[in-house]
A and B are shown apart, each in its own frame.
Chain A
Amino acid sequence: MRRIGQYILFLGALFRNPESFRTYVKLIFDECIYIGWNSVILVTIISVFIGAVTTVQTAYNIVSPFIPKSVIGLIVRETTISELAPTITAIVFAGKVGSSIAGNLGTMRITEQIDALEVMGINSVSYLVLPKIVATIIVYPMLVVLAAFLGISGGYIASQLTDVVPPPEYIIGLTTQFNPFIVTFALIKSLVFAFTVSSISAFMGYYTKGGALEVGQASTKAVTVSCIAILLGDFLLAQLFLN
């Protein structure tokens, strides 16, 4: 409970005594490039393969001759957009970006760089953490859109390379019974997950005490707690928006 209280106070400190807008614009821009660009390749590889595997496994599980093959395209579309793109990418994102944020802030803490900012009269939480959270909230939905597109494309590539579903039927499935709300739902999830991963990782890193060992532990803890929070958030959002 004490940690949760500390986390809420930490979030409150993000907006206390902020620096000039100009300062944040530059920092947010730098973080967007760092967080976004460094994640693109990993997200690309994972999304393409997840889409392809989902296609093959769905085809494997549809054994009834009464179910048209085009259903595979529909299932891949629905699962990729509503679940795989926002959630699986968030877990990968927690591993890559979350651990990096925690490690970065943890190192700054143990080498007194955060103290140096505080002594200068700069709100270190606001200066260091707010740009990371804002940048993640900007960049992560873009990555989710990319992941969804690549996941569906991965399914199409699988349909081309294997005989599990003919490509024209896959396309028919993709365009059948499309409910645009799943895109909105995926974007809402992406915003929540972006905030969750960045704020939890920053919190874990910011309060690191000790030395190099503790920085490593903070990174590990950031990933673990972020993943649990993502899964919990996923369930709550599904309950809230889909029921």
Chain B
Amino acid sequence: MIEISNICKSFDGKTVINNISSKFEPGKTNLIIGASGSGKSVLIKNIVGLFRPDSGDISYNGRDFINADNDTKTEIRREIGMLFQGGALFDSMNVEQNVRFPLDVLTKMPEDEKMDRVNFCLKRVKLENTNKRMPSEISGGMQKRVGIARAIVNNSKYLFCDEPNSGLDPQTSIQIDRLLQEITDESQITTIIVTHDMNSVMEIGEYVMFICNSYKLWEGNNQDIIHSGVQELDDFVFANNMMRRFRELS
């Protein structure tokens, strides 16, 4: 479980995250949603340690992360897998090298075990027979799936995804969403997904946190979201005609 409490973060005097607290449970797909610029990516970067919060606490299974010494931080980070918005694949490496990178650098696993694990993860994300292709030779959706394979190859306990569906068509987006939910369920890992895609919210939002103008305004699940009673959330969720009609029908 990941717990955050009273997280605040400012840049050049502008508050981007304001006193946000929450608990993200394992085995659930936890979604952080909000409009562009609401602070959700900054929040996830605080949680994984890419930014240091101005105040507040973050703990991974009870282990303090912010004030931990370097060794503990490294230990926690090595349990984290992250899928970045653009995939963040190493462009000088092929698919296989990208996926096995964490095993090469962080473990002393024998070569054949590494290859078995890499092939298992690539199969898990339905990318068999792409081992030798370079990131520039595969589609955006495939790059995201390679990113997922790299994030889980080291048996990560915590999986973070920053807008996994950005730039993808609706069908591929749903495939990615379902894949993330299956992986979370199978391995009982703690998954946190930042998104502004309402399809993802309705599809896999077992826990949803809504951020608006740096504040957490609402939390619940995808069943409750349409009856939240929070105006800002309603404006966000029912921004398009299809969702408005859906609300009228329901």
Residues of A within 8 A of B (CB): 16-17, 19, 23, 107, 111-113, 115-116, 118-122, 127
Contacts and interface: CB of A to CB of B under 8 A. Distances in A.
A229 B160 CA distance: 42
B77 A119 contact: yes
B242 interface: no
A112 B147 CA distance: 12
Interface stretch (B26-34, B79-87, B226-234): B79-87
A115 B88 CA distance: 8
A19 B160 CA distance: 24
Contacts of A111: 86, 88, 91
Interface of B: 45, 48-50, 70, 73-78, 80-82, 84-86, 88-91, 102, 104-106, 154, 160
A190 B73 CA distance: 39
Contacts of B45: 115
Contacts of A116: 82, 84, 88, 90
Given A119-B80, A120-B102, A121-B77, A112 B85 contact: yes
Contacts of A127: 105
B80 to A, nearest CB: 6
Contacts of B70: 16-17
A115 B44 CA distance: 12
A120 B84 contact: no
A113 B88 contact: yes
B49 to A, nearest CB: 7
A235 B106 CA distance: 44
Contacts of B77: 118-121
Contacts of B90: 113, 116
Given A17-B74, A112-B88, A118 B49 contact: yes
